[in-house]
């Protein structure tokens, strides 16, 4: 069953055509990767699904409802994590809940829980500059998970993480996904990464971004 449906999406930036007539369904509870070379429109498509930018044509529906901007059922994890440098890990993670009007005691409690889930217990009072790239990435992931959105949209979240830690985060993501039964849409330009983590891969072709294929890797992770 599809939770997110994309119909007839087109997007141009001035005279640069980034996406042409994209039609896709994203199944609930699965991790779908958008895979393709740099510039093929992956980030553009993800941001349109997030409601962060508008499409030139077409529609996005989430749970059957048409959306035209950001909403609480979708959380976006930015490539650069978008952390507030002046705020602690706890405050950064709790920020998404703060925006949604959750009271301080409750949001701190929830934030601590997700900080623990991503393996950062003990770092609640540190500032982003005191953490490694991989740890900052986990703060961004904890913030996205803590708002309890059904759909998590991740834009190359491992690009700032070194090769050795990347596999560990990929495994964290696989584990978090099965523990939480959330829907993930994941942008990557790495075939290796897409095959390793995905239930489904959408292959976008460059110039202008079109869907060339939907692939379902048959991976036994047991």
Residues that bind ligand ADP (CB under 6 A): 13, 16, 18, 36, 38-44
Q: Report the nearest approach of ligand ADP to the CB of residue 87 (Å).
A: 23
Q: Toward ligand ADP, which CB reaches closer, 117 or 208?
A: 208
Distances (CA, A) of 164 to 22, 31, 107, 158: 35, 22, 33, 11
User: What count of other Cβ atoms lies within 10 Å of the Cβ of residue 85?
Assistant: 8
Collect all residues with Cβ–Cβ distance below 8 Å to 209 and sequence separation of at least 6. 18, 19, 20, 22, 36, 40, 41, 42, 44, 45
Kindly state the helix (H) or strand (E) to which residue 112 belongs, with its residue range. Answer: helix 104-117
Cis, bond preceding 208 (omega within 30 deg of 0): yes
Q: Toward ligand ADP, which CB reaches closer, 126 or 210?
A: 210
Is the separation of the CB atoms in 82 and 75 below 8 Å?
no
CA distance 163 to 19: 31
Q: Report the nearest approach of ligand ADP to the CB of residue 187 (Å).
A: 6
Q: How big is the CA angle at 80 (ends 143 and 37), to the nearest 5 degrees?
A: 120
Q: Report the nearest approach of ligand ADP to the CB of residue 217 (Å).
A: 20
Q: Toward ligand ADP, which CB reaches closer, 124 or 156?
A: 156
Q: Toward ligand ADP, which CB reaches closer, 122 or 206?
A: 206
Q: Report the nearest approach of ligand ADP to the CB of residue 78 (Å).
A: 9
Q: Report the nearest approach of ligand ADP to the CB of residue 181 (Å).
A: 27
Q: Toward ligand ADP, which CB reaches closer, 175 or 207?
A: 207
């Amino acid at each position: 069953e599809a939770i997110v449906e994309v119909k007839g999406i087109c997007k141009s930036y001035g005279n640069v055509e980034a996406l042409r007539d994209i039609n896709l369904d994203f199944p609930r509870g699965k991790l779908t990767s958008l895979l393709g070379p740099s510039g093929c429109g992956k980030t553009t498509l993800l941001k349109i699904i997030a409601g962060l930018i508008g499409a030139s044509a077409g529609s996005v529906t989430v749970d059957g409802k048409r959306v035209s901007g950001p909403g609480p059922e979708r959380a976006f994890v930015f490539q650069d994590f978008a952390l507030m440098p002046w705020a602690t890990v706890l405050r950064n993670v709790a920020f998404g809940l703060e925006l949604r009007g959750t009271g301080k005691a409750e949001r701190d409690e929830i934030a601590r829980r997700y900080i623990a889930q991503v393996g950062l217990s003990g770092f609640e009072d540190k500032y982003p500059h005191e953490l490694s790239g991989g740890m900052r990435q986990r703060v961004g992931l904890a913030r996205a998970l803590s708002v309890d959105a059904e759909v998590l949209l991740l834009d190359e979240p491992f690009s700032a993480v070194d090769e050795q830690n990347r596999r560990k985060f990929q495994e964290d993501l696989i584990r978090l996904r099965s523990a939480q039964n959330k829907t993930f849409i994941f942008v990557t330009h790495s075939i290796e990464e897409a095959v390793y983590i995905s239930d489904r891969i959408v292959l976008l072709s460059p110039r202008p971004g079109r869907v060339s294929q939907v692939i379902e890797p048959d991976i036994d992770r047991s």
